[in-house]
């Protein structure tokens, strides 16, 4: 997310609008599918962060659009914690075996 701008046009029924970048520049198209949090509807004059991309016709558009108060959550894949615990357990057992602390059986 390298860009910031203001949502200066928004049609909630159609699910699209335009962002005016900070400073200067042409308006950038944004679709509702480009928002990272679709549970909260965007509102006119909100400040947003976004990444620039282009559509199939080469026109600039915004992607990965986020409202400033959204916090990004680190998502861990299911089972990652279990695999990590299992790895350290097996490493501890292996080290204990080679150190002579536990028998093979």
Instruction: Kindly state whether residue 23 falls inside one of the protein's structural domains.
Output: yes
Phi (first) and psi of residue 9, to 5 degrees = -150, 130
pTM summary value: 0.61
The DSSP bridge pattern shows strands 16-21 and 28-31 to be antiparallel
- Supply the CATH number for residue 47's domain: 2.40.50.140
Domain carrying residue 15:
3-66
Task: Return the pLDDT at 1.
Answer: 58
Please list the ranges in the chain whose pLDDT falls under 70: 1, 69-79, 105
Task: Return the pLDDT at 77.
Answer: 60
| Residue that the structure tokens 């026109």 belong to | 59
Kindly provide the residue ranges of all beta strands, DSSP E only, lying in 12-104, ordered along the sequence.
16-21, 28-31, 47-54, 60-66
Instruction: Kindly state whether residue 79 falls inside one of the protein's structural domains.
Output: no
How many domains, in total, are found in the chain? 1
Instruction: Kindly state whether residue 93 falls inside one of the protein's structural domains.
Output: no
């Amino acid at each position: 997310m390298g860009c910031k701008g203001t949502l200066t046009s928004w049609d909630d029924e159609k699910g699209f609008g335009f962002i005016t970048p900070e400073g200067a520049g042409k308006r950038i198209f944004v679709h509702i599918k480009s928002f990272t949090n679709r549970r909260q509807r965007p509102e006119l004059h909100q400040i947003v962060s976004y990444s620039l991309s282009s559509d199939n016709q080469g026109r600039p558009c915004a992607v990965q659009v986020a409202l400033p108060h959204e916090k990004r959550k680190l998502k861990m894949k299911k089972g990652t914690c279990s695999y990590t615990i299992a790895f350290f357990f097996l490493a501890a057992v292996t080290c204990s075996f080679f150190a002579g602390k536990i028998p093979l059986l």
